[in-house]
Structure 1
Amino acid sequence: MPQFQVQDMTCKHCEANVINAIKEVDAGADISIDLSLHLLTITSIQDAATLGDAIREAGYTPFLLSEQ
């Protein structure tokens, strides 16, 4: 369950873009977002690198905090 900090995810529009990017690589991903802390926790069949790449391709800068 990777957890990312995405400092440039600052609004609901950004949140939707990040969710859509993740859903493109894993439609069944479970995504939890705390927008005020810029935290993103994902339960997915994809690895953290793939998820991070998807977030970057959407135009954001993810920082991997943990891969639990």
Structure 2
Amino acid sequence: MYRFTLPDMSCGHCVAAITEALQALDAQARIAIDRDARTAEVDSALPRETLAAALAEAGYPPAPDATRI
């Protein structure tokens, strides 16, 4: 599981776009988003770099502090 800080996430539309981008890569991924904290926790077998690239492509580049939890 990875935790990403997403500084550009600010609304419900952002949450939907992030969820859609991640599920397009891994339909089985478990995603927990905290909009107020601007974080997303993603449980996926995919590598962190792949998930981060999908987030950036969707317009929500993660802060460099992404961690495995």
TM-score (norm 2): 0.92
More strand by share: 1
CA displacement 1:2-33 (0-9 Å, x = unmatched)? 10000101000000000000001101100001
SS at match of 2:66: strand
CA distance in 2, matches of 1:12, 1:42: 18
The answer for the alignment partner of 1:37 in structure 2 is: 37
TM-score (norm 1): 0.93
Q: Answer yes or no: is 1:50 the counterpart of 2:50.
A: yes
Runs of 4+ with >3 A deviation: none
Offset of 1:47 from its aligned partner? 1.0
- Identical counterparts, % of pairs: 35
Query: Which consecutive unaligned segments of at least 5 residues does structure 2 have?
Result: none
SS at match of 1:3: strand
Offset of 1:65 from its aligned partner? 2.8
SS at match of 1:62: coil
State the Cα RMSD in Å: 0.9
Query: Which consecutive unaligned segments of at least 5 residues does structure 1 have?
Result: none
SS at match of 2:36: coil
Q: Figure out how many residues of one structure are paired with residues of the other and give that number.
A: 68
